Chain A
Amino acid sequence: AQSVTQLDSQVPVFEEAPVELRCNYSSSVSVYLFWYVQYPNQGLQLLLKYLSGSTLVKGINGFEAEFNKSQTSFHLRKPSVHISDTAEYFCAVSDFDTDKLIFGTGTRLQVFP
């Protein structure tokens, strides 16, 4: 069975500072990896996904993530955050046989002016 651990429940950061949101996963099989963002009172929006190939994945809104198989990690980064990036971020995995998403508990990114 797969599982996802998001190591930080909250990450406060000032505007224009860099940020990293951490995600580790556990799986006995190869997986696909995803980051979703949830703005208040809204559904989930896909930021980026890793299926195969280059381990550095670029997504929307200037976010990127790096897949590290040896450390079973898929950390999300942005070099300079904006107030509008304030939201809940979820890391998720699915295996090759199903497209059922297994989510972490989320990280609340709070950007201060």
Chain B
Amino acid sequence: DAGVTQSPTHLIKTRGQQVTLRCSPKSGHDTVSWYQQALGQGPQFIFQYYEEEERQRGNFPDRFSGHQFPNYSSELNVNALLLGDSALYLCASSSLTSGASTDTQYFGPGTRLTVL
């Protein structure tokens, strides 16, 4: 049973560019959450998708947007990249239909984004 997968593993972009990160949830999961982990910090919640809708959002600007597809996979898009967007981006999946907030979130290995 495949866990949460993310692509690409690493990415280098320059300021002002746009980037798309991808996530496939664990089998049987319908909810995807995205987190940003800056170097030496804990992960920070960006947003969560369920039933192809953004269900909740953290304190991130509109440059950060996402999408969820009918197969539950998800994309994170970041426009107008800043140096401060350099971080590890983690995707986590869970199942809202199985019991809401008590369900465990399973994390993928992350995408390391470097903005030059």
Chain A: residues with CB nearer than 8 A to chain B? 4, 32, 36, 41-46, 49, 51, 90, 92, 94-106
Contact = CB atoms under 8 A, between A and B. Distances in A.
B78 interface: no
Chain B interface size, under 10 / 10 to 19 / 20 to 34 / 35 or more: 20 to 34
Contacts of B24: none
B42 A98 contact: no
A100 B41 contact: no
A104 B104 contact: no
Contacts, number: 63
Given A42-B109, A43-B108, A43-B110, A103 B43 contact: yes
Interface of B: 4, 31, 33, 35, 40-45, 48, 56, 58, 90, 92, 94, 96, 100-110
Contacts of A99: 31, 33, 48, 94, 96, 100-101, 103, 105
B45 A101 contact: yes
A95 B56 CA distance: 13
A43 B4 contact: yes
B33 A43 contact: no
B56 A44 contact: no
Nearest to B100: A99
A45 B44 CA distance: 16
Given A103-B42, A105-B42, 4 more contacts: A43-B108, A100-B33, A100-B56, A103-B43
A45 B107 contact: yes
A79 B103 CA distance: 28
Contacts of B105: 46, 99, 101
A102 B45 contact: yes
B101 A44 contact: no
B42 A96 contact: no
A75 B101 CA distance: 22
A100 B31 CA distance: 12
